[in-house]
Amino acid sequence: MKSRLKIEFFGQGADTARLLPECRRLFDGMGRKYENVLGWVDCRQAAQGQVQRVLEKARQWRDIADTLVVVGVGGSNQAARGVIDAMGARGMNVVWAGNTLSAYELRRTLEQLEGHSIAMHVIAKNFETLEPGSHYRVLRRFMEERYDEREMARRVVLTGTEGSRLHEMAKERGHLFLPFPGPIGGRYTAFTVVGLLPIAAAGLDIDAYMQGGLDMQAQVAQREDNPAFRYAAWRNGLYAEGKNIEMLASFEPRFERMARWWRQLFGESEGKDGKGIFPAYSIYSEDLHSIGQYVQEGERRLMETFISVRDDGAVLPVPADAAARDGFDYLDGRDFTFINCAAEEATIRAHAEGGVPCARIEAERVDEYALGSLYYMMMAACAVSGQLLGVNPFDQEGVEAYKRSMFAILGK
Ligand code: PA5
């Protein structure tokens, strides 16, 4: 059975109906204003007919290699990383590179790869970003020392803009080039080869993931009260009332990377022109012991969105141990899933009563279908939410400022 998403609201701002017609108007009217960046709106168009090719390449890789190193940063790796961390790799082990300038981390990555049979997917839209560009050089050398030209051609896939230097390098070396789809910005690429190939290599079901996206796409197209518009309306209604920080919270530690994907999506899309809801995230229950105090009683500028799952797929009851007299007998025989859900329920109640409006987006279980639905829902919500704020949700001019000064220091 498909794990459909449900959204509910607690505390202030629960009435989202007022802004829904505006969400509809903004979503349907995007084409007039942003026509060159809307390739993501239709998941099938985003995938550009590459699903079979992706599956074929992932199969080939799995026959010759045990580890895939993905080189990419920001929108060029976060979606796939979120899904693979949430689900756990069932095929190739995936190592993430091209996302730091720390020599220590890169050294650790090389050590991790030592002794493994490696394939590599380099994802760099413009092939100008320092982290993936520099790591690709190091990892290229690392692989060339181990594999001849023919093997390199089987093991390396490059993804970038058609006509870029990366594209030329693919031609020069005989490497497979899977183009970065033109009309899509990095952080909206969840259903393109950027997201699909690493997910498929990890042995996960990209058909179910895609179907989750498509079903949410249909809901967004057909219904005004779809989860994406309701979420966008809720957070913008609250922003207008002075809530300018949103905490994405989950009681599942394996959602941390997905939370980072969400943070990048909303942070880069909305934080501009002196506006924007600041996106933060917490992994509970651990972070209740760090940030919980602030959320409960600190400045009342927060709203909180829980990503929740009813059945986390594991059964683990607490064993009885009366002899120990440790004070935890009230847990005897209780399953950890039940205890975790109780902690989530209690937290939402306490935070909402403490003046933090809460939303809960809930899936029955963690699977590719639910994650695909969630990703599409968030991208659609973000596109609408940015427009409600009055900013362009598809550019990120502000990211260039530090780059200009860094390139000057490095003598580019
Ligand atoms: O959303 C975006 O466009 C950015 O976050 C990019 O994905 C990120 O900066 C990486 O860009 P590139 O793939 O060109 O290296």
Distance CA 188, CA 46 (A): 9
268 lines ligand 1 (CB under 6 A): yes
Q: 162 alpha carbon to ligand 1 midpoint, in Å? A: 15
Active-site annotation holds for 403: yes
160 lines ligand 1 (CB under 6 A): no
For a substitution probing ligand 1, which of 73, 134, 399 has the most ligand atoms within 8 Å of its CB?
73
Looking at residue 139, its pLDDT comes to: 98
Q: 190 alpha carbon to ligand 1 midpoint, in Å? A: 13
Looking at residue 212, its pLDDT comes to: 98
Task: Please name which of 175, 173, 177, 208 lies closest in space to residue 191, comparing C-alpha atoms.
Answer: 208
**pLDDT confidence band for 57 (50 / 70 / 90):** very high
405 lines ligand 1 (CB under 6 A): no
Nearest CA to ligand 1 atom 3: 186
List all residues 6 or more positions away from 110 whose beta carbon is below 8 Å from its beta carbon: 138, 139, 142
How much is the average pLDDT of 129-151? 98
129 lines ligand 1 (CB under 6 A): yes
Structure tokens at 54: 């992706």
How much is the average pLDDT of 20-36? 96
How much is the average pLDDT of 260-266? 98
Looking at residue 2, its pLDDT comes to: 80
74 lines ligand 1 (CB under 6 A): yes
Percent of the chain with pLDDT over 90: 93
Per-residue pLDDT tens for 271-281?
999 999 999 99
Nearest CA to ligand 1 atom 2: 186
Distance CA 367, CA 397 (A): 35
**pLDDT confidence band for 240 (50 / 70 / 90):** very high
pLDDT of residue 14 exceeding 80, the answer is no
76 lines ligand 1 (CB under 6 A): yes
Tokens 């609408």 correspond to what residue?
384
Active-site annotation holds for 275: no
How much is the average pLDDT of 236-248? 96
Looking at residue 15, its pLDDT comes to: 82
158 lines ligand 1 (CB under 6 A): no
Instruction: Please tell me the pTM assigned to this model.
Output: 0.97
Active-site annotation holds for 121: no
pLDDT of residue 395 exceeding 80, the answer is yes
* Positive or negative torsion for Cα 231, 232, 237, 242: positive
**pLDDT confidence band for 119 (50 / 70 / 90):** very high
pLDDT of residue 3 exceeding 90, the answer is no
- Burial of 190 per CB tally in 10 Å (0-12, 13-18, 19+): buried
**pLDDT confidence band for 4 (50 / 70 / 90):** confident
Looking at residue 20, its pLDDT comes to: 97
Looking at residue 124, its pLDDT comes to: 97
Looking at residue 137, its pLDDT comes to: 98
SS (H, E, C) the chain: CCCCCEEEEECCCCCCHHHHHHHHHHHHCHHHHCHHHCCCCCHHHHHCCCHHHHHHHHHHHHHHCCEEEEECCHHHCHHHHHHHHHHCCCCCEEEEECCCCCHHHHHHHHHHHCCCCEEEEEECCCCCCHHHHHHHHHHHHHHHCCCCHHHHHHHEEEECCCCCHHHHHHHHHCCEECCCCCCCCHHHCCCCHHHHHHHHHCCCCHHHHHHHHHHHHHHHHHCCCCHHHHHHHHHHHHHHCCCCEEEEEECCHHHHHHHHHHHHHHHHHHCECCECCEEEEEECCHHHHCCHHHHHHCCCCEEEEEEEEEECCCCCECCCCHHHCCCCHHHCCCEHHHHHHHHHHHHHHHHHHCCCCEEEEEEEECCHHHHHHHHHHHHHHHHHHHHHHCCCCCCCHHHHHHHHHHHHHHCC
Residues in the chain: 412
When the pLDDT of each residue in the chain is averaged and rounded to a whole number, the result is 96
Task: State which ligand 1 atom lies nearest to the alpha carbon of 133.
Answer: 15
